[in-house]
Amino acid sequence: MVKIDLITGFLGAGKTTFIKNYAGYLLDQGERICIIENDYGAVNIDMVMLQDLLSDNCNLEMIVGGDGKEAHRRRFRTKLISMGMSGYTRVIIEPSGIYDVDEFFDVLYDEPLDRWYEIGSVISLVDAKSLFKLDDMRRYVFMSEIANAGKLVISKITEDTDCDSVIAKVNEIMTEFGGKTFDPGKDFVAKRFDDFTAEDYESLGSSGYRHASYVKIPIEDKQFTPLFYFDPKMSREELEEVTKHLFESKEAGSVIRLKGFVETGENSQVEINATREKIAITDVVSSRNVLIVIGEKLNKEYINNIMKDKCSVVSL
């Protein structure tokens, strides 16, 4: 049977960066893998960010949404069926940062998938910086994303990160919603990604998952939304200025993350990956220019007005 790993975590926790490293380890072990970008958006930037992994032993697949959870679930199931005879030894799934983990388990318990695939590990990333700023519905979404994890990886660790406080905060939020807490001694990995060893990845890959029980809270369809801007063109300085403004502006709504690729000149392009805590802009060469703004109760009209002269198509 093909093992399937689910990598979860709230928006901006570092899932894609972790997957790059984890997939590299699996490939070094001789595995033949497929990474599925499983998102509700019409465009998946993370898939572009993983292009460097493409090889004879690593494939990338994508599932798009945008027309309801049930349609998205059917596409997920159909994708796994179509891959059933492809010879993969492991599949890694990266969902959106707002994801109902029950979909993962429900689909894999269906026939014939339950005979072809087995759940490997659920690995969840915890952003050490933004964790303490989660409020209201974000706390619930964060809890629901990590509740089934066999292991939690604390991400974005710096010299002043107090990992004990991070662990205590995670368990405080779990308790708040009636979820099962995690064992500080065995359920967490607290290292910078660059410091991970083969033993760390082996432990994560065999960490399994746990059954979670908590009171489900419905999330409004438009509470967390992505806005897409195609062919964005602006200078590096202007991009940084716009990004800072969107994070700070109350009129824009609550912007959580910006990511994508922006043309900054005739022969120059940058990748932006920004949260309120950190704006990272790096020079790249990509086949596509698109910028995604993700947040809670976004004011599309206001953000579109800012972006209308900086791209060819604004979010519809």
pLDDT in tens, 262-291: 999 988 999 999 998 889 999 988 768 889
How far apart are the C-alpha atoms of 38 and 61, rounded to whole Å?
9
Question: Are 236 and 230 a contacting pair, CB within 8 Å?
Answer: no
Q: Where exactly are the structural domains of the chain?
A: 2-205, 224-307
65 has pLDDT over 70: no
> 2-205 in CATH: which number?
3.40.50.300
Name the percent of the chain lying above pLDDT 90: 69
Residue 31: Cβ-neighbour burial (10 angstroms; 0-12, 13-18, 19+): middle
Amino acid at 278: K
For 90-109, the DSSP string reads EEEEEE-SS--THHHHHHHT
Q: What is the pLDDT of residues 71-129, one digit of tens each?
A: 778 888 999 999 988 999 999 999 887 788 988 999 999 889 999 999 999 999 999 99
What φ, ψ does residue 32 adopt, rounded to 5°? -110, 115
Q: Strands across the sheet with 290-296, in order?
A: 224-230, 290-296, 254-265, 268-275, 279-283
* Domain spanning 224-307: CATH 1.10.1740.10: no
Task: Find out whether 163 and 129 touch, Cβ atoms under 8 Å.
Answer: no
pTM of the model: 0.89
| Model pLDDT for residues 146-157, shown as the tens digit of each residue | 999 999 999 999
pLDDT band at 161 (very low <50, low <70, confident <90, very high): very high
> What would the pLDDT profile of 186-224 be if each residue is shown by its tens digit?
999 999 999 999 999 999 999 999 999 888 888 776 678
> What is the mean pLDDT of the segment spanning 123-144?
93
Residues 6 or more apart whose CB falls under 8 angstroms from that of 82 comprise none
Query: What does the block give as tokens for 272?
Result: 């932006």
Average predicted confidence (pLDDT) for the chain: 90
